[in-house]
Structure formats: structure tokens, C-alpha cells
Amino acid sequence: MTPDMMIAAVLILPLLIAAGIAATGWLPNLREGVTFVGAGLLFAIVIMLSLQVAAGGRPELYIGEAAPGLEFAFKLEPLGALFALVASGLWIVNSLYSVGYMRGNRERNQTRFYICFAFAILGAMGVAMSANLFTLFVFYEVLTLSTYPLVAHKGDAAAQRGGRIYLLTLLGTSIGLFLPAVMWTWVLAGHNLDFVQGGLLAHAHVSPAVASALLILFAFGIGKAALMPVHFWLPNAMVAPTPVSALLHAVAVVKAGVFTIMKVSIFIFGPDLLDATPGREFVMWVACFTMIVGSLIALTKDNLKARLAYSTIAQLSYIVAGAMLANSSGFLGGSLQIAAHAAGKMTLFMCAGAIYVATGATNISDMKGLGRKMPLVFIAFLIGSLSIIGIPPLAGAWPKYELMQGAIDRGNAYLPIVLIVSSLLNIAYLLPIPFLALMPPPGTKEPKPFKRPDGAPMPTVLAPLITALLCLILFFAVGPVSDFLAPSMGDRAAAVAAGGLP
């Protein structure tokens, strides 16, 4: 297959999967088979594309113009390839998990669920591969609209309310702020929206005030990045079934948001212009604020998914902060965080879902001593937590390291302190959960018996173990990953890849 055919295949395959799911909806086993085969194929193609990218190729596909100058065009570069790999690879794991979860919970409308999931993957793939801001914006909205039915899946009053907030916030910020930013960029760049290495606006004579305003429009318009105060859709989206929270609200949707911010920083602003933009510092403060306050709110939550949601909000800001450092260490740290946080947080969410299917428990206070009955789940949870906190030898250690390095490189004194405080807060809100479950203090009363006689279904235990293992592997794979990302990041990443491992 030629590269452009492969890109086309990545875009068409989710549609075929959706059609296949619709056609086989009355035979659940066949339907799940379609999902697995399709997801496997998709991942295989994305790997092939990534190999080409690693070899220096930049697969491209030009579909056509929506209107003069506004092209549907795709071009895969390392950062996008990383995001595509993460989203499509974890989709396989998540499909395995969904089967166990949805059946174990006897959810209704499963066919619609899987169809919308396929469309969401299409959105994520489109965002990852887009060659210009217009294409990215369109697929960004595809992702919003296709995930709305997933959030409102249960259809009860709470799900409807959560869905409405989800849709209104994401559509409102994207149409209200992101779209004007896109239009403004179009005019500033002289009727062009392409992603250019070094920055589309780098030579456009943009005044610092205009650049600041534009950056702030982007930072808050991309609501999926969940910077405070546009973060509240994320906790509200937790009414969705857990597989949705695991893949979409820890990986595809939120990562599409921060990926977009990263992409705008590197390819629209470019390091030099971003460095000269005063508004950058403001966005950095907001990101630091979000890190600390998100973690503090997480501490107060007893509902496990709510705690994880606020933790996600805090963790996403690492990536925004990395982008705002505007140097290669910052970009690299943020990009590594996309992969590391995906693996770690997905593990945690899948564990939360497994616990819910087995016992019906959603509150942390009901989970004391539960680790004795479901040890594998809580061990996976422990590994995921350690990775999020950033303890070697787990994936989460590298992004924090790179971010601190980047902050020190440019003489930013407060970011390392904020990162350390954030890590301490992570310890405070994450570690008690597995510890109290595995090693309950004497006198804890026995947890309630399982809702299902045979406990969590096998897939819901297996899936988090796989992602926990992935956290471990990613730690050791940082060299190749940095090597892979280097062309988009600049010299520092190249130095890391060249063996300058600290």
C-alpha cells in the first residue's frame, strides 16, 4: 500500500467498522468480532504509517477543497503518529474491556454504543493526521458530536444533564473561541492554515498583543484540554459508562485537546514566536493553577471516577505547561506525557470499572479491604498510580523529568516547584486507594459481597493489567520514542535520543 492509501484506510476503516457493527448488531459475538478485527487492522496500519514516519517519510493525503483555500488534507508527522498510535492501540485494549464491562453490566443499546465509539476513533485519527488547522477543527468537532451519545448513554436525568453540559461546553468553547482563533489565524497568515515546521505565523509580523490574544483564544477555545475554568465538562462526562471514561476521557478526547494545543504551539506559533508572546506566561500560570487546584479538588472527592476526572484535569495541564515552555524539552515532556498519562490513567479507569461491575461500589470509602478479593485489579491500580505520580521505573517519570529540565533551561523557577507539589498531591489522593484496599487497617469491616457471583469478568481484569505493563515498557522505551519524536521537537529531543539519557 502506498502512504496515501494507508491514510485513506485509517479514515475509512472506522466507518467500515461502524457499518459492520450496525449490520451485525443482532449477533453480539459477531459484532464484537468486527470491532476487534477492525481495531487490530487499524492499529496495524497506523504502525506501518509510523514506521514510515520514523524512517523520515511524511505520508500525505489530499482529499479536496471544502472551499477555496480550505483543504481537507492529511500529513502525518511524529507527534501526530504518536497520538494515533496511542489512540488506536489502546482502542484494542479498550474493546476487550468494553465487552466484559458492557455485558457484565447488562447495558442497553450496545450496538449504538459501539458505532459511536468507532466514529469517535475516526475523529481522533482525523485530528492526529490533519495537515492544517481547518481539517483539525472539523475532526475535533466530529469527536465532540460522536461522543455526546456515549456520555448520555444511560439516558436517565443525570446522564442527560451531564451530556448537555458536555456538549454545550465543548461546542460553546470551540465555536465561541477556537473558531474565531482559526479565522484570525487565516487572516494573519495570509489565507493559509497549514501546519508548518517552525511555525506558520513565525514570519507574519504578528504584534505581541495580537499573538497573546490569539494564544489565549486557542488555549481556552480548545476546551478538550480542560484548562480551568473550562474544565467542568470533564467531571460531568463521568456519567458515561466506564469504557468511555477510560478511552475517551483519559485518552482520545482529552488528548485530542492537548494534542491540538501542542500542535498549535509547535506548528502555528512555532517556538520563536511563542517565546516572544507575553500571553504565554499567562497560560502557563493558568496551567499551574489547574495542576494544583485540580489535585486539591481530587483530594476531596470520594467518588472514584470523580477523583480520577479531577486528576486527569490536573495531569493534562502538564502538557499545556510543556507546550508553553516553548523549548524542545518542554515540547518533548508534553508529548511524552500524552503517551504516559494515557497508559496510566486508562489503567486506573479500567480498574474503577472492574470494581463497579463486580461490586457496584463507586465510592472510595467502600473499597477498604477489597484488594483481598480482587488483588490483580488493585495491583494494576497501584502500578497506574505510581506511573501517574512519576516514580521510576514507570512511564510517568520521564515527562516530569523533561518538563523540569525544560523549565530550568529557560530559567523558570516556579514550574519545578509546582510539579513537585503536584506529585506530592498525586501521592496523597491516589496511593491511599490501593493501599487501603490491599492492606486494610485492622478493624476494617469486611467489604460487601460481590454483586456478581464470580466477580469482575475476565476481560475487565486483563485489560488494566495490559496497560499497567505498558506503563513499565514505556519507561524503558523512552529512547526510541524520543528518537521518533525528535524531528518535530527540535535539538533537545535529538540529544536525548542520541544517548544523553540522564
Partner 1 sequence: MIEALYTAAPAWAIQHAAPLLVMVPLFLAPMLALVPSGRIAWLISIIGTTISFLFALILLYLVQTSPVGVVDYEIGRWPVPIGIEYRVDALNAMILLVVTSIGLLASVFSWPTVAAEIRKEKRPFFYSAFMVCFAGLNGVTITGDAFNLFVFLEISSISTYVLVSLGAGRDRRALPAAFNYLIMGTIGASFYIIGIGFLYAATGTLNMGDIASKLPELAGNRSVLAGFAFILVGLGLKAAMWPLHQWLPDAYSYSPSFVTMFLSATATKVALYALIRFLFTVFQPQFAFEQTAFGMLLMPLGIAAMVVCSFQAVFQTDVRRTLAYSSVAQVGYMILGVSLGTTAGLSAGLFHLLNHAMMKGALFMAVAGVVLSYQGTTIRDFAGLGRSAPWTMTAFAIAALSLIGVPLTAGFQSKLQLGFALFDQGLWWAVALVVFSSFLAVIYMGRILEAVFFKPPLNPRKARKEAPVILLVPLWILALANIYFGIAAKFPLDLARSAAAAAFGGEAFLK
Nearby residues of 29 by Cβ (< 8 Å), 6 or more positions away: none
For residue 410, which phi and psi values (nearest 5 degrees)? Answer: -100, 15
- Establish if 171 lies at the interface with partner 1 (CB under 8 A): yes
Does residue 282 interact with partner 1 by CB under 8 A? Answer: no
- The residue among 190 and 392 lying less far from partner 1, judged by its C-beta, is 190
Looking at residue 254, its amino acid is: V
Does residue 176 belong to the site contacting partner 1 (CB under 8 A)? Answer: yes
180-201 burial: b if 16+ Cβ within 10 Å, else e: ebbebbbebbeebbbbbeebbb
60 three-state secondary structure? strand
Of 20-28, 58-66, 241-249, 437-445: span binding partner 1 (CB under 8 A): 58-66
Q: Which stretch binds partner 1 (CB under 8 A): 2-10, 179-187, 313-321, 328-336?
A: 179-187
Q: Rule CB under 8 A: is residue 184 a binding residue for partner 1? A: yes
C-alpha cell at 329: 524539552
| Cα 182 to Cα 262: distance, rounded to the nearest angstrom | 15
Residues 66, 158, 473, 498: which binds partner 1 (CB under 8 A)? 66
Exposure on the CB side of residue 383, measured as CA atoms within 13 A: 26
155 phi and psi, to 5 degrees? Answer: 80, -5
Closest CA to 374 of 454, 311, 492: 454
- For Cα atoms 161, 163, 167, give the angle at the middle one, nearest 5 degrees: 120
Q: Shortest distance, CB of residue 137 to partner 1, whole angstroms?
A: 6
Q: Which part of the chain contacts partner 1 (CB under 8 A), choosing from 65-73, 320-328, 345-353, 421-429?
A: 65-73
Among 179, 292, 361, 431, binds partner 1 (CB under 8 A): 179
> Applying CB under 8 A, which of residues 186, 285, 289, 450 lies at the interface with partner 1?
186
Nearer to partner 1, 149 or 270 (CB): 149
Distance CA 243, CA 41 (A): 21
208 interacts with partner 1 by CB under 8 A = no
Smallest gap from Cβ 219 to partner 1, in A, equals 17
| Element of type H or E holding 399 | helix 397-409
Position among 58, 103, 112, 164 found at the interface with partner 1 (CB under 8 A) = 164
Q: How far apart are CA 352 and CA 164, in angstroms?
A: 24
Question: x/- site string to partner 1, residues 69 to 108, per CB under 8 A?
Answer: -x-x------------------------------------
As a three-state string, the secondary structure of 304-331 is HHHHHHHHHHHHHHHHHHHHHHCCHHHH
67 touches partner 1 by CB under 8 A: yes
Please pick, from the candidates 30, 44, 168, 458, the single residue that binds partner 1 as defined by CB under 8 A: 168
Binding residues for partner 1, rule CB under 8 A, total 27
Per CB under 8 A, residues contacting partner 1 are 64-68, 70, 72, 137-138, 141-142, 145, 152, 155, 160, 164, 168, 171-172, 175-176, 179-180, 183-184, 186-187
